[in-house]
């Protein structure tokens, strides 16, 4: 390149000298002088042009260098962040699997241990590769499922391994690019939970055994199955029966309270037909309502109620508790109405009664643990835990519970439960 | 003719109370104090109805229920579970194994139960 430039400079100089010679010969010194000045001016402008180009190039070079330095800096920062994230992922006690599309792009140490696979065997391969391994072959349909919405499921991987698998979408902008899967070994935790639940159930059984004998014996004494009793004896035995009943409620409520307050109150989600839920609530209450000759009305929408993701046992318990309170605090020949409405977003229950109502000063505290309204304390037994437990369960379903009430006129309890999108894994 | 009810219950006091309350011209109640004796009594006396506790010494109530329902000679005898085990899984298990009802001892109304039993016995005649 340099040689070419030198050659061209040489040729141009030779031509200029020839032209200068011609001017000198034909126009004399003056002509030659003007030619030289002309050539110098050309050279001057050429040098200026050259210098400006060089400066432009220098600036571009500087900004390119800056740009590359910044790129390098950003790359190093990204590598640092990536290494940080990888260190964190590898240090987690949960297993992590990251899928790029349907291929495994990342697996941490804990996931290798949980799944009993080597990263080399499955990295950058489709998730279906896990079908080859004994611990993972049953999980493949779940891990391959569409995860545009996150979902969670417990899976019995092998006889002695229970996993909680959470599948979450990986999104870049608006594009779905893969999945982020969290694997948690909950075998031990479930065992402890079951042991504790069994212990509590047995303890409740042991507490209820003498209480149920006492209940029956008080009822039989009052029924004069052991011979006639006088008024005073009847009154005392009735008080003993009521207090015994209170203990029975307390044992049951304490069992439920313990479950809610310890983390062992896991919700068992399933698809529940809301129509069936309402039917079972109504049929559970029939006997008591008949006894008190209460006018009972149930209204549901003309269109079929939806199927919803609920913990059927717990939500039934929560709603039944409110209905039982309505029955308890409504006098003989009173009125109770259950009104159920639904739209796309929520299922709503209104449980209305013509009972004693709640004093204004007690309304705020009604859902507080162990609190009982002042008028309820005077007239009936209870543990003060029922509404607290119902509220916890409704809120566990992301729902809301509230009431409107006027003392001596009645109360309306409202329960609203959101309708969630159906989990494809259920 | 009086109907025979067998109560299989290890709690002596509760068993005595139930026997006293249920015994009448129409109902004759006899007892067994554990699962093993319960099975023997069922085979020997073929009761018209069984009241069955679950937490029993030797053979537990669920096992007794399985034995009753798997024997063609006794499978048609109606069984009502009477227990303080109130977990949903216990209730479902009991009903699945063939019990016609599951009553929680600390919650049931004895007069209603007697009415229910009389209805069941009338229907099975």
pLDDT digits (tens, 9 = 90+) for A98-113: 999 889 999 999 999 9
Mean predicted confidence (pLDDT) in A66-73: 93
A410 alpha-carbon distance from chain centroid: 37
* Range of lowest pLDDT (A35-44, A127-136, A255-264, A401-410): A255-264
Substitution target in B84, B89, B113 with the highest count of A β-carbons within 10 Å is B84
Counted residue by residue, chain A has a size of: 426
Query: So what's the pLDDT on residue A190?
Result: 83
Q: For B112-122, write each residue's pLDDT tens digit.
A: 888 889 888 88
Instruction: Please give the residue that has the higher pLDDT: either A53 or B1.
Output: A53
A-B contacts at Cβ under 8 angstroms: 50
User: CB–CB of B21 and A287 under 8 A?
Assistant: no
Task: Say yes or no to pLDDT of A426 above 50.
Answer: no
SS3 B16: helix
User: CB–CB of A216 and B88 under 8 A?
Assistant: no
Task: Say yes or no to pLDDT of A264 above 70.
Answer: no
Q: CB of A103 within 8 A of CB of A179?
A: no
Establish if B110 touches chain A: CB-CB under 8 angstroms: yes
Mean predicted confidence (pLDDT) in A151-168: 85
Q: CB of A257 within 8 A of CB of A295?
A: no
How many C-beta neighbours within 10 Å does residue A232 have? 8
- Tokens representing B123 are 């229907």
Q: For A332-382, write each residue's pLDDT tens digit.
A: 999 999 999 998 889 999 999 999 999 998 888 899 887 888 888 777 777
Helix/strand/coil (H/E/C) assignment for every residue in chain A: CHHHHHHHHHHHHHHHHHHHHHHHHHHHHHHHHHHHHHHHHHHHHHHHHHHHHHHHHHHHHHHHHHHHHHHHHHHHHHHHHHHHHHHHHHHCCCEEEEEECCEEEEECHHHHHHHCCCHHHHCCCEHHHHHHCCCCCCCHHHHHCCCCCCEEEEEEEECCEEEEEEEEEEEECCEEEEEEEEEEECHHHHHHHHHHHHHHHHHHHHHHHHHHHHHHHHHHHHCCECECCCHHHHHHHHHHHHHHHHHHHHHHHHHHHHHHHCCCCCCCCEEEEHHHHHHHHHHHHHHHHHHCCCEEEEECCCCCCCEEEECHHHHHHHHHHHHHHHHHHCCCCCEEEEEEEECCCEEEEEEEECCCCCCHHHHHHCCCCCCCCHHHHHHCCCCCCHHHHHHHHHHHCCCEEEEEEECCCEEEEEEEEECCCCCCCC
Of B11, B106, B111, the CB nearest to A215: B106
Task: Say yes or no to pLDDT of A137 above 90.
Answer: no
Task: Say yes or no to pLDDT of A263 above 80.
Answer: no
Of A205, A216, A287, the CB nearest to B84: A205
Which residues of chain A have a CB within 8 Å of the CB of B55?
205
- The order of strands in the sheet holding B79-83 is B27-32, B3-8, B49-52, B79-83, B101-104
B53 → chain A, closest CA residue:
A209
User: CB–CB of A220 and B21 under 8 A?
Assistant: yes
Counted residue by residue, chain B has a size of: 125
Distance from CA of A226 to the nearest CA of B (A): 9
User: CB–CB of A212 and B106 under 8 A?
Assistant: yes
Establish if B88 touches chain A: CB-CB under 8 angstroms: yes
Of B20, B88, B105, the CB nearest to A313: B88
Instruction: Please give the residue that has the higher pLDDT: either A84 or A257.
Output: A84
pTM over 0.90: no
Complex ipTM: 0.85
Query: So what's the pLDDT on residue A133?
Result: 85
User: CB–CB of B11 and A201 under 8 A?
Assistant: no
Query: So what's the pLDDT on residue A261?
Result: 67
Using 50 as the pLDDT threshold, list the residues of chain B that sit under it. none
B18 → chain A, closest CA residue:
A216
- The order of strands in the sheet holding A95-100 is A103-107, A95-100, A175-185, A161-172, A151-158
Widest Cα–Cα separation across chain A: 160
Which residues of chain A have a CB within 8 Å of the CB of B81?
none
| Range ranked top by mean pLDDT from A129-133, A231-235, A239-243 | A231-235
Characterize B45-61 residue by residue with b for buried, 16 or more Cβ atoms within 10 angstroms of its Cβ, and e for exposed.
eebbbbbbbbbbeebeb
Which residues of chain A have a CB within 8 Å of the CB of B21?
216, 220, 225
Establish if B85 touches chain A: CB-CB under 8 angstroms: yes
Query: So what's the pLDDT on residue A176?
Result: 85
Task: Say yes or no to pLDDT of A17 above 60.
Answer: yes
Cα–Cα distance, A401 to A122 (Å, whole number) = 49
Query: So what's the pLDDT on residue A385?
Result: 84
Half-sphere exposure of A173 (CA within 13 A, CB side): 1
Which residues of chain A have a CB within 8 Å of the CB of B106?
208, 211-212, 215, 248, 251-252
Q: Between the CA atoms of A98, A104, A110 and A111, what dihedral angle is there, to the nearest 10 degrees? A: 100
Classify residue A345 by burial, with Cβ atoms within 10 Å: 0-12, 13-18, 19+: exposed
In this structure, which long-range contacts are made by residues A69-73, counting pairs with CB atoms below 8 Å and at least 24 apart in sequence?
none
Mean predicted confidence (pLDDT) in A218-228: 93
Query: So what's the pLDDT on residue A307?
Result: 86
Query: So what's the pLDDT on residue A354?
Result: 95
Cα–Cα distance, B27 to B41 (Å, whole number) = 17
Task: Say yes or no to pLDDT of A275 above 70.
Answer: yes
């Amino acid at each position: 390149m340099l040689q070419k430039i030198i050659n061209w400079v040489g040729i141009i100089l030779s031509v200029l000298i020839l032209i200068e010679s011609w001017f000198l010969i034909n126009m004399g010194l003056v002509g030659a002088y003007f030619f030289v000045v002309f050539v110098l001016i050309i050279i001057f402008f050429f040098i200026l042009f050259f210098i400006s180009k060089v400066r432009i190039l220098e600036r571009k070079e500087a900004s390119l260098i800056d740009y590359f330095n910044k790129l390098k800096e950003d790359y190093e920062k990204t590598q640092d962040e990536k290494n940080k994230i990888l260190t964190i992922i590898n240090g987690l006690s949960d297993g992590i699997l990251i899928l790029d599309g349907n291929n495994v792009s990342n697996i941490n140490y804990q996931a290798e241990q949980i799944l009993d696979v080597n990263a080399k065997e499955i990295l950058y391969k489709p998730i279906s590769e896990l079908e080859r391994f004994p611990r993972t072959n049953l999980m493949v349909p779940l891990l391959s499922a569409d995860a545009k919405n996150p979902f969670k499921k417990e899976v019995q991987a092998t006889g002695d391994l229970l996993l909680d698998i959470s599948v979450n979408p990986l999104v870049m902008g608006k594009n779905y690019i893969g999945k982020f899967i969290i694997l948690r070994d909950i075998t031990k935790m479930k065992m402890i939970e079951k042991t504790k639940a069994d212990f509590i159930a047995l303890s409740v059984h042991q507490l209820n055994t003498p209480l149920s004998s006492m209940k029956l014996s008080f009822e039989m004494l009052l029924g004069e199955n052991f011979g006639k009793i006088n008024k005073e004896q009847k009154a005392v035995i009735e008080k003993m029966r009521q207090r015994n009943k209170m203990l029975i409620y307390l044992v049951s409520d304490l069992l439920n309270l313990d479950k809610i307050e310890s983390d062992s109150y896991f919700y068992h989600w399933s698809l529940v037909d809301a129509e069936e839920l309402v039917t079972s609530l109504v049929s559970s209450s029939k006997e008591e309502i008949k006894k008190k000759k209460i006018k009972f009305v149930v209204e549901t929408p003309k269109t079929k109620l939806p199927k919803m993701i609920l913990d059927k046992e717990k939500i039934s318990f929560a709603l039944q508790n409110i209905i039982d309170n309505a029955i308890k605090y409504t006098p003989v020949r009173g009125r109770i109405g259950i009104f159920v409405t639904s739209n796309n977003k929520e299922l709503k229950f209104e449980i209305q009664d013509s009972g004693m109502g709640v004093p204004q000063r007690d309304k705020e505290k009604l859902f507080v643990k162990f609190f009982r309204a002042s008028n309820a304390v005077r007239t009936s037994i209870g543990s003060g835990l029922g509404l607290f437990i119902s509220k916890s369960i409704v809120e566990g379903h992301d729902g809301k519970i509230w009431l409107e009430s006027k003392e001596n006129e009645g109360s309306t309890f409202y329960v609203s439960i959101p309708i969630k999108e159906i989990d494809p894994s259920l | 003719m009086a109907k025979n009810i067998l109560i299989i219950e290890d709690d002596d006091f509760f068993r005595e109370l139930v026997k006293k309350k249920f015994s009448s011209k129409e109902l004759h109640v006899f007892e067994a104090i554990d699962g093993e004796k319960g099975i023997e009594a069922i085979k020997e006396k073929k009761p018209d109805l069984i009241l069955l506790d679950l937490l029993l010494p030797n053979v537990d109530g669920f096992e007794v229920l399985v034995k009753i329902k798997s024997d063609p000679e006794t499978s048609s005898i109606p069984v009502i579970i009477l227990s303080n085990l109130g977990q949903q899984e216990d209730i479902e298990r009991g009903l699945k194994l063939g019990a016609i009802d599951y009553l929680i001892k600390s919650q049931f109304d004895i007069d209603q139960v007697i009415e229910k039993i009389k209805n069941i016995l009338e229907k099975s005649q």
